[in-house]
Structures are given as structure tokens and as C-alpha cells.
Amino acid sequence: MSIKNLIVGAGISGAVVARKIAEELGETVLVIDRKDHIAGNIYDYRDAKTGITIHKYGPHIFHTKIKEVWDFLSRFTEWHYFYLKPNAVIEGNSVTLPFNLTTLYEVFSPKMAERIEEKLISKYGYGVKVPILDLKNNDDEDLKFLADYVYEHVFKNYTMKQWGLKPEEIDPSVTARVPVFVSHDNRYFQDKYQGIPLNGYTKMVEKIFDHPNIKMKLNTDYKDINGDFERIIYTGAIDEFFGYKYGELPYRSLVFDVRTINKEYFQKAVVTNYPNEYDFTRITEHKYFLDEKSEKTVISIEYPQVFENGKNERYYPISNPDNQALYEKYKAEQPKNVYFIGRLGDYKYYNMDLAVERALNFFKEEIK
């Protein structure tokens, strides 16, 4: 039987497109991945010694405002409803993230916190996320102080570690995305739909791929595939597809120090950020994700690093005009029967829901 469609990459983008083609068009699909597992960077697995589900490539909490995305994934999983409520270590104390009205009282004296809270609500209203630049650009000294405090203690050093940049290299516009949340809502996300697949992300993706028209080959590289395909949907790195003829697109990578700890819990939250201390950015405690019980616990200590081809994984595209121009140079050479999608194919960092939305829209607009 001839196969009409080749999908390179068995992550969430490839899974969604494969399912739509197989189910709605009734066409055959071959999915390949050079890894030995499906699900890409949302891959998780059950640790045999502790029974705890481990997010191998860092913490993933699904959240979305997009009902179409939630409904599509809900066909393939039940949900463990979960709100991300991380902490950060600021001046030696564990405090609430995002920085909100609760955090004010955790880092400042009650009198000062109350005064700033009243000013924030009076000026901006309640339930509003105020970017740091907005706080800086007003005449009130308390609000300017708050903006400087959050920038220095929460944002600056974390960003330097995450992106490998010096303070003067950080685009000031980036700080505009760092808000103070005028609320006592301690959830990191306020999306309508939030949760984690009840049996894990890998099982969810496995069910998406579970269709008679979909064939799977793991441990398989694109360059080793021969065949005459009507469509090639490529979710890998676009510069790699073209043999890096114009140079490599840069990424940031991560390395995880995974440790089993001989105690029931290690920290008070699923994720604790360390903006100012150590070389790592955060520690994830995995048993919180699905509220799993064990006498031991498993943590991942997360170290950002430069992506080096063949040595580590691509995680975060580095967005700037030069890199975007290089991406566009590659994109201009896209063959007629080849489509690039996903975080690596689009050279764009997608949250999970936006990756699914992109795949659904791609199918409707380019394939169907």
C-alpha cells in the first residue's frame, strides 16, 4: 500500500495533523521520529522505583482559552484538573508567583504592602495585569519602587540565566511582558481550561496516533526515508531540512538534573523558581502533577544552556530580527509538497494549546 503523507516528528503538532488527515481525509500517513519515543518535548513516563510520572523535558501544564483545542484533546484523554501555582525564592523566602497582591505581603511590611495595594487598585483596578513599564511610567514613587523591585528580584537575573544575556542586552520591551497581577488569584494562568492528561501526555498522544491509517517509525531520521509522498509535513528544524546552507538558527537548550529524594516532599509547590541564586532557574517536583502518592519524591533541577547541534535538544527559539530574517530565507525555499509547522518548523515558541491550534488551522487551511 502506498503512503500519501509523511509527517516528520511525533510530537503534538505532528500527532494532530496525522489524526486529521487519517480520520477526515481517509488517507494513509507515515509518522517518523528520530527519538525512541512519541510525544516530543511533552513526553512523560512512570518512574519504576517511585511510581511517579516524570515530565522528562520540563514541567508541562496544559492551559487554554480555545474551546476547539480543549475539545479536540478531550477526545483522547480524561483530565486531572490542575492549576499551576509556582513559588519563587526571593531574598531567601519562598513567595507567590506571579507577583501579585499576595506577594506584596510576603516581601514587604504589612503597612507598606497595604499602601501599595491601595494605590494599585485605585490606579489600575482589581484583576488587572500591569506591565512593569506601565508601573515605571507614572509619578507615584511607591509604584516606581515596586516596578524596580520586581524587575531586579524576579525578572532580571532569571532572564539572564534563561537566555544567557547581560542586563544591557535584554531588550527593554521584554520587561513589558512582566506583569504585576492586581489580584489575590495565585494561579499562574487564568485560562478557562487547565489540566494535565489523567494518564499522562504520552498516553494522550498515543491515542491521537491510534488510527488504522497511521503508521509509526521511531529511531528513524528523515534522511533515511525513501518514498514518493504527495505531502511532507515537517515539524523538525527548518534549517536542518536545508542542510544548514545559510547557517544554523540559534536556540536555547536545557539540561535536567533528575534526583530521587528519600522524603515524601521536597518543596511546597510543583515548581519553585530561583531567579537570583545558583546557576539553575527552577526545581520541579513531579509528584504534584497528578497528585501521586509515594514515600519518596523525584525532582528535576533545570539548567539553561546554549543549544549545540548533536549534544542537546532545541527548546526556545531566540527571537530577534536577524534570526527571523534567517528563518524567512529558509522559508522562501519551501518545496511545493513540503509544509513546515510546529515550534521548530515555524521557528516560533508555541505553548501547547497554540501548537494544537496551529496544527488544526494548518489542516483546515492548507490540507483539507
pLDDT at 289: 98
Tell me the C-alpha distance between 364 and 21, whole Å: 10
Q: What average pLDDT does this structure show over 134-139?
A: 89
- Highest mean pLDDT: which of 73-77, 174-178, 227-231? 73-77
- Say whether both 128 and 102 belong to one domain: yes
101 and 132 inside one domain: yes
The mean pLDDT value for 15-42 works out to 98
Reported as a pLDDT band with limits 50, 70 and 90, residue 136 is confident
Residue 288 lies in a domain: no
**Does 122 share its domain with 47?**
no
Q: Per DSSP, what are the bridge partners of residue 259?
A: 299
Q: Are residues 156 and 103 in the same domain?
A: yes
The pLDDT value recorded for residue 171 is 66
Helix (H, G, I), strand (E, B) or coil at 73: helix
Domain boundary among 148, 182, 216: 182
pLDDT band at residue 133 using 50, 70 and 90 as cut-offs: confident
Query: Based on the domain organization, do 105 and 206 belong to the same domain?
Result: no
Contact (Cβ atoms closer than 8 angstroms) between residue 146 and residue 180: yes
Residue 52 resides in a domain:
yes
Q: Is 60 part of any domain?
A: yes
Q: Are 101 and 175 within one domain?
A: yes
Residues in the chain: 368
Say whether pLDDT at 111 is over 90.
yes
Cell numbers representing residue 200 in the block: 499522562
pLDDT digits (tens, 9 = 90+) for 79-93: 999 999 999 999 999
The answer to whether position 274 is within a domain reads no
d(CA 134, CA 170): 18
Is 173 a residue whose pLDDT tops 80? no
Which of 124, 155, 182 is where one domain is finished?
182
pLDDT > 80? residue 170: no
pLDDT at 147: 94
Confirm whether 270 is domain-assigned: no
Q: What is the pLDDT of residue 260?
A: 98
Is 161 inside a domain boundary?
Answer: yes
Domain match, 320 and 241 both: yes
pLDDT of residue 72: 98
Domains identified in the chain, total number: 2
Say whether 212 sits in a helix, a strand or coil. coil
Q: Indicate if 214 and 334 belong to the same structural domain.
A: yes
- Residue 172 pLDDT class (50, 70, 90 cuts): low
Residues 164 and 211 in one domain: no
Does some domain include residue 187? no
Average pLDDT of the segment spanning 222-243:
96
Residue 320's pLDDT band (cuts 50, 70, 90): confident
A 10 A CB-CB count for 49 gives 9
- Per residue in 250-305, pLDDT tens? 999 999 999 999 999 999 999 999 999 999 999 999 999 999 999 999 999 999 99
* CATH number, domain containing residue 54: 3.40.50.720
Same structural domain, 225 and 345: yes
Residue 121 CA to chain centroid, in angstroms? 31
Indicate whether 2 pLDDT > 90. Answer: no
Residues 101, 44 share a domain: no
Q: Give domain status of residue 17, yes or no.
A: yes
- 158 shares its domain with 113: yes
User: In the structure grid, which three cell numbers stand for residue 188, read together?
Assistant: 499562574
- For residue 145, give every residue at least 6 positions away whose Cβ sits within 8 Å of its Cβ, in sequence order, or none: none
Q: Which domain holds residue 117?
A: 87-182
